[in-house]
Structures are given as C-alpha cells and as structure tokens.
Amino acid sequence: MDGERLETETGAVDLSGGDNWVLYADNADALPRLGDGTFRLIYIDPPFNSGKVQRRKELATVRCNDGDRVGFGGRRYRTVTLGATSYSDVFDDYLAFIASRLEHAHRLLTADGTLYFHIDHREAHYCKVLLDQIFGRDCFINEIIWAYDYGGRSRRRWPAKHDTILVYAKDADGYFFDQEAIERIPYMAPGLVSKEKAARGKLPTDVWWHTIVATNGKEKTGYATQKPEGVVRRILSASSQENDWVLDFFAGSGTTGAVAQQMNRRFVMIDNNDEAIDVMTRRLGTVGVRYVDGALNPLPVNQSRSGQLGLFA
C-alpha cells in the first residue's frame, strides 16, 4: 500500500478503490474526512451513557482433573478467561458529545439516505429532540422498538427490555425504502388469516421482537454490547441496495460491516477502541477490507502464530 494515494484532492478518504474500510480513530476526527452525500444508510449504536464501563468477559470451560466444577458423569471442568473487552460509557454532557457527530451524519447521507440511531430509554427522548433539530421534525420516519427478553428483572419497576431505534430521512419526500426486500415474519395468530396469508407471513411493524446475540451462537464475538445481525439485516434490507455505501461510526465488533459483507453492500466502519478493531479483523477478514488509522496509515493486521488474525505489530 506504500505510496498509494488514499485521499482525494480535498483530503477526503478516497472510496473509489472498491475496498471497504475500517478506521481506527475518534469519529470526531474521521467524519470530517468523509465526502458529502456518500452513504445511502448510516446505522449507529453509540454508547448509551449508561454511566458504566461496558465490559464483557469471554469464558470457556475446559476439562481438567482438578477443575472446580463437576459436570455430567462426575467429569471435572475449569473455567478459563479467553479475553475481555471494555470501553467507557460515561459522559458529562452526552448531547454535546453526540450532536456534532449527528450533524456529520446528516451531511454524509445521500439525498435519499436514511439514518438509524440506536439508543436506550435513558437518552432516547433527548436524542429525539436533538435529531428533530438537525434533520427537521418532518424527516422523522419511525421510532422502532427492539424488544428482547433477557437478563435480570427489577422488582421496583417494569423491567426495561427494549432499545429504541430512531429513523430519520434526509428528505422525507424522497428517501429509499424497499418494503419488498424485508423478510416477512410469522403471524402471531395464523389461524385468524387465510392459509395463503399465513404461509406468506406478515411485514414487521415498528416493534421488533428479536433475541439478543446468543451466548453460544456463532455470531457472538465476545465484544461488549454487540448487537444481533438479524436486527441490522432488517435495516439494511429496507434502506439500502447492493453496492450502496453503508456507514457505522460507532462500529464496535463490526456487526454492520459483517451484515454489509453478507448483503453485498460496501462499508466504512469507525471505532476508537483497539479491542473493537481487533475483533473486526477476525470478523471481517482482510480480503477487500482496508484497516487504517486516522491518518490513513495501514494498521498492522497480521496472523498470530496460531493463525488468528488481529492487530499484531
């Protein structure tokens, strides 16, 4: 890649080469380097300002004679930590943090593009007002509720088991939305509709029941707050087409990039956490994907001696 020009005359990242991109940078620095009107779809799942450090430990159980856990047939096992990922989710002024980034999101969308902004109940209402200011209230398209059913339950209030995805179009009269491409789901009461309708299934509404990433599922990366591919796939199906550019500038484990790869979309992923970049190298591979830092210098993505991809200098 040495000597290769990765930026246009204006200093924007040159996306004309046919590759996808993973940028290891603060998005406040990276976003100004992306060209106006590039992305048909932007999905972001920023830190929710939970006031915590988000951590996830990846554990495995291995058989061993002096293990502290006894399983089937009296066999002994020990739990080992494979790795841990974490990032801080504490902001003094969350709206100030997110506002300038959302202004870039608006600038970066194509004229018919759509933003999906994933947030939870703590900040959703403040962010809605902010997005109304940036996009215009008439450009608010949907409030999607992603409902799941997992984890502990409060005894003091209704257990909070949903996230909110706010959907905004750049142009309320001319945004891309392909209803035909959305995968249909089973009717809740198939006996109440004709056999043909039941067999065809129904279109999802703005309430999406979907499991979280299964702890033993094959898409699990071990990255804290990883979102399910099924949720992101539905978004990409409706609001982008093959070869469109898709952007996620709080990329984490790269769920958006993984789904974009599966669906033949092109992508730019941005994250400022080295653990996120490390996970993405394994998830997205190196074929047709450029890994660069904020100055567009290639990152040292290599294989370890065990053959695992990662950021190894």
Q: Is 123 one of the binding residues for ligand SAM (CB under 6 A)? A: no
Q: Is 271 one of the binding residues for ligand SAM (CB under 6 A)? A: yes
Q: Is 113 one of the binding residues for ligand SAM (CB under 6 A)? A: no
Listed ranges 20-28, 154-162, 179-187, 190-198: which one lies at the site for ligand SAM (CB under 6 A): 20-28
Q: With left for phi above 0 and alpha for psi between -120 and 50, is residue 27 left, alpha or beta?
A: alpha
User: Considering the complex, what minimum distance in angstroms separates the CB of residue 124 from ligand SAM?
Assistant: 14
Handedness of CA 202, 204, 210, 213 (dihedral sign): positive
Strand partners, 140: 168
Q: DSSP assignment, residue 145?
A: E
Q: Indicate the residue among 139 and 278 with the shorter CB distance to ligand SAM.
A: 278
Q: Is 273 one of the binding residues for ligand SAM (CB under 6 A)? A: yes
Strand partners, 185: 202
Listed ranges 14-22, 107-115, 203-211, 224-232: which one lies at the site for ligand SAM (CB under 6 A): 224-232
CA distance 102 to 291: 24
CA distance 310 to 308: 7
Which of 269, 276, 299, 301 touches ligand SAM (CB under 6 A)? Answer: 276
Listed ranges 128-136, 181-189, 270-278, 296-304: which one lies at the site for ligand SAM (CB under 6 A): 270-278
Q: Is 245 one of the binding residues for ligand SAM (CB under 6 A)? A: no
Which run of H or of E encompasses 119? strand 109-119
Instruction: Please give the backbone phi and psi of residue 189, each rounded to the nearest 5 degrees, phi first.
Output: -125, 80
Tell me which residues touch ligand SAM (CB under 6 A).
26-28, 45-47, 87, 223, 225-227, 250, 252-253, 255, 270-273, 276
